[in-house]
A and B are shown apart, each in its own frame.
Chain A
């Protein structure tokens, strides 16, 4: 799938999230695979609800971080591409 700033990602229902203090775990219950997410990726994941484009997600995620460590749009696009590559998003 084509992933650009206007793409609206949706997470697969079979993928569950476990939150930890500093990061998150994703568990794909179908493939029985586990992934570690840092805080930026975890914030992006939570926003992948089928209602927000990547550009909107990047704006939301940026507000969560301090100015020096703000993720830029291209970081969020890459994160969403990684989610897609691992089969974590709905088609």
Chain B
């Protein structure tokens, strides 16, 4: 039996499987969060592989002994397991205010990039590595409520379909640092493996709302803090747990940060505008 232990802040989970290939597959999941010891796992994911005369090879995921998912595709198994782990981790990490945002760091300054899906967060975040920024997270950021310190969530960067080839050709990603999920046409990319030095907890230096469209003129402009506060509320995963306190946390967060809106029609100009902050 292969047993892999993980620790994401206060959330501990384990993955167990009797199949070496599945164990190797799981090594691509949250690679920087592997832990040597189990402690007391909040959840145990069990992966099974069996052969069925009609269905062929069947992969199953059980969570604490209960079957949650089944598929014929190994890459489909990876995608669903990754999604399950992420959702369960966030539901366990209730002590943090959770935002849908990317984050980068340079010279000890953290910048948050709240944005909806498809607005260019991943492309911009990875492109900023050319300007000596470090990628911290692709789409999830944890905020300590009392201090408003930012803790990047080490989920893999999800690079989708046409972007994979473009980014690989631009040397923004190295396919060896990740897992390509064929069934979903997504590369789960781990930029953290290139720089493993720990990130010091700190308040954000700036918060930049990102919008991308070929129709936009490239523009970086300051926005009012109350506007940014409302935008962040819309990007929160767990505002329903915080309600009034969530508003207080976000007003504290924006009060100490510079707030901008970045509209762009191409990533090169976006990176150039970014460097002006």
Residues on A facing B (Cβ under 8 Å): 16, 18, 20-25, 27, 29, 32, 34-38
Contact = CB atoms under 8 A, between A and B. Distances in A.
Contacts of B251: 18, 20, 25
B225 A34 contact: no
A83 B251 CA distance: 21
A10 B248 CA distance: 24
- Chain B interface, >50% SS class: helix
A85 B225 CA distance: 24
12 contacts: A18-B247, A21-B225, A25-B230, A25-B247, A29-B244, A34-B229, A34-B230, A34-B233, A34-B247, A35-B230, A36-B229, A36-B230
A69 to B, nearest CB: 15
B247 A23 contact: no
Interface of B: 224-227, 229-230, 233, 243-244, 247-248, 251, 254-255
A20 B243 contact: no
A81 to B, nearest CB: 20
Contacts of A23: 224-227
A59 B184 CA distance: 62
Nearest to A29: B244
A21 B255 contact: yes
A24 B226 contact: yes
A27 B244 contact: yes
A43 to B, nearest CB: 14
Contacts of A16: 244
Given A20-B254, A20-B255, A21-B255, A37 B247 contact: no
